[in-house]
Structure 1
Amino acid sequence: MARYDKGHRDTTRRHILDVASAQFRESGIAAVGLAGIMAEAGLTNGAFYTHFASKEDLVREVLCDALERREQRHKDNLENGVPVETTIRDYLSPRHRDAAATGCPTAALVSEIARHPKTTRDAFTGKMSDIIALMAAQMRDGAAAERRRRAISVYATMVGALQLSRAVNDRKLSEEILENAVEAALTLANRP
């Protein structure tokens, strides 16, 4: 049996997560098979089970990892005093719309997550709560409960608009969806 360098297992696991994350976000969870993930990762199908118990285990890990990265972006924005307007405009940009494989996992996968087992939905729910709390903290005006309410509305607007802008095949309409959603999200975010 071949011996691997220290850290090889972690590096291989990270690589599988990255490949699966991009494929899930680009094509959807149901459309992506383990064989395709492992082939793109340059590994055998059997190697998958060294790292994950099942496809659902992989889905949950991908979600948590991708949402933790998104959460870190929100933390960085908060720590660096980035205004909520910048966060909204960045999220609802044509660049983000066109980069589903590396973009927000919520917009790419939320409709499928609703059909997954409770453990996956629990992990998703926890991360959503964290992201909403960070968005609320980014809003400066109003009591905490009011900022949370507005953050939920803003985030729901952002996710839904990004999904719609990706779904339509009319580029002009897609741009209109993004532009109008920016205005609506800013109105919600800045409402006293």
Structure 2
Amino acid sequence: MRYDKGHKDETRRHILEVASAKFRESGIAAVGLAGIMSEAGLTNGAFYTHFASKEELVREVLTDALTRREERHKANLENGVAVETVIRDYLSTRHRDHAGTGCPTAALVAEIARHPKATRDAFTDKVSDLVGLMAKQIRQGTPDERRRKAITIYSTMVGALQLSRAVNDRQLSDEILENAVDAALTIANER
């Protein structure tokens, strides 16, 4: 059977999107290739037409998802979006409640730490880029001071989002988010 030009690229993109959502919702280790391919409407054998291994898929998902976040940060910079808006959006109940479409760092960071060097290298490069973009949004301080603030803010945001998702007390979860917003804005000197 012959497919239209671009079919393979579209199929690969579809697999990436399905895997990305499933990994963020359930975790990398909990998601098997059979489940990804089934949800994508494809056979298990079709997977190897697009990826050599699950680890390659994980790297591609991370790179793709973090590149998309990076593009949003760049658009924020170009459009003059304040760091306060970024912080409040990230630490929102909407973001907390929709891990499958949210930040891959908050959803997967604990697992990524146990993956091979190539996956961690790809992740590290993207996180470094995101921190650099956030540093550009911070208005006060030298470039080194803004980078230190951005690292602290990003770490606070990721950790608070993870913790807010982990607790089963909705009020405590909301308090974690609200207090993390206050802390991050204080670090950014936005308060």
Aligned position for 1:55: 54
- Structure 2 counterpart of 1:37: 36
Find the counterpart in structure 1 of residue 3 from structure 2: 4
Which residue number in structure 1 is paired with residue 76 of structure 2? 77
Distance in 2 of aligned mates of 1:92 and 1:173? 14
Deviations 1:71-97 (A, max 9, x none): 111111111000000000000000000
Q: How many residues align?
A: 191
Cα distance between partner residues in 2 of 1:38 and 1:154: 37
How well do the aligned residues superpose, as a CA RMSD in angstroms? 1.0
User: What amino acid is aligned across from residue 17 of structure 1 in structure 2?
Assistant: L
Q: Please, what TM-score do these two structures have when normalized by structure 1?
A: 0.98
> What is the alpha-carbon distance in structure 2 between the residues aligned to residue 116 and residue 148 of structure 1?
26
- The runs of 5 or more residues in structure 1 that have no matched partner are none
Which AA in structure 2 matches 1:23? K
Distance 1:164 1:105 in 2: 15
**Whole-angstrom CA distance in 2 between matches of 1:190 and 1:53:** 46
Partner SS, residue 142 of structure 1: coil
- Quote the Cα distance in structure 1 between the aligned partners of 2:76 and 2:130: 12
Q: What is the letter of the counterpart of residue 12 of structure 2?
A: R
SS in 2 for 1:4: coil
**1:53 to partner: Cα distance:** 0.3
TM-superposed CA distance for 1:55, in Å, is 0.1
Map 1:153-164 onto structure 2 (within 5 A).
153-164=152-163
State how 1:76-115 maps to structure 2 within 5 Å.
76-115=75-114
Match of 2:65 in 1: 66
Distance 1:60 1:132 in 2: 19
Indicate yes or no: 2:178 matched with 1:172. Answer: no
> How many percent identity over aligned positions?
80
Structure 1 counterpart of 2:96, one-letter code: R
Question: Deviations for 1:153-182, whole angstroms, at most 9, x for unmatched residues?
Answer: 000000000000000000000000000000
